[in-house]
Homo-oligomer: A and B are copies of this chain.
Amino acid sequence: MKRTGSKVSIAVIRRLPRYYRHLSELRQQGTVRISSSALGKAMGLTASQIRQDLFCFGGFGQQGYGYNVEKLREEIGEILGIDRGHTAVVLGVGNLGHALIQNFKFGNNGFNVEAAFDINDEVIGTTVGNIPVYGVDELDQFLREHRVDIGVITVPRSVAPVVAQQLADGGVRGIWNFANVELKLENAEDVVVENVHFADSLLTLSYMICQTADDKETEE
């Protein structure tokens, strides 16, 4: 499916997964259709913002009817690539790697985890949540023999750049980076890196609790 997606702003793109999440919740609750204002209220956006966002992707709403939850969810899921059968490998089977493999629903987001890699002899050769764990020295061969779309990096930040380059050289198309270090890849213009920065989220919370406290002081 081709869309005008490449012209869409990164801010809109980043809201799409949130739409998908909220629509999935509405669907689970049995909601059949929803107005842009009700969807906006649930997501903290204005109705006009919602209409603008969805218009970028062809606009699915109908005047006076609102959006069909099931259909809009499906369309957004398709835009996000949930139906593409993406594959992933996890690099690093420490606490975070374990937590992701065992608790994060990769499947719900269209990803199948094919294998995990580590340097620790105690986990190599075992399985974690049905996923086989191989030694990192087997990564290159694995990438040659399997189509792997993304690598999930949960290794310590000191080794993350090396592992990331190995993934890029091995042909992955994306890297989901939890290592809290900027990855500068060589010969890999097409490889997309998505960084997860826990600190950004915690600092937003920090800001917000300060504001609440300040507002209270002002009232008193």
Contact = CB atoms under 8 A, between A and B. Distances in A.
A167 to B, nearest CB: 13
Interface string A208-219: 111111111010
Contacts of A13: 204, 207-208
B194 A205 contact: yes
Nearest to A212: B190
Contacts of A156: 103
A102 interface: yes
A194 B208 contact: yes
A111 to B, nearest CB: 7
Contacts of A215: 6
Interface residues of A, number: 67
Nearest to A20: B203
Interface of A: 2, 5-6, 10-11, 13-14, 16-18, 20-21, 25, 44, 79-82, 84, 86, 94-96, 98-100, 102-106, 108-111, 149-150, 156, 173-174, 176, 182, 190, 192, 194, 196-216, 218
27 contacts: A5-B211, A6-B211, A11-B11, A13-B207, A14-B204, A16-B203, A16-B204, A17-B202, A17-B204, A20-B203, A21-B197, A21-B199, A80-B203, A81-B207, A81-B210, A82-B203, A86-B209, A95-B96, A95-B98, A96-B99, A104-B198, A109-B199, A109-B202, A110-B206, A111-B206, A150-B209, A176-B205
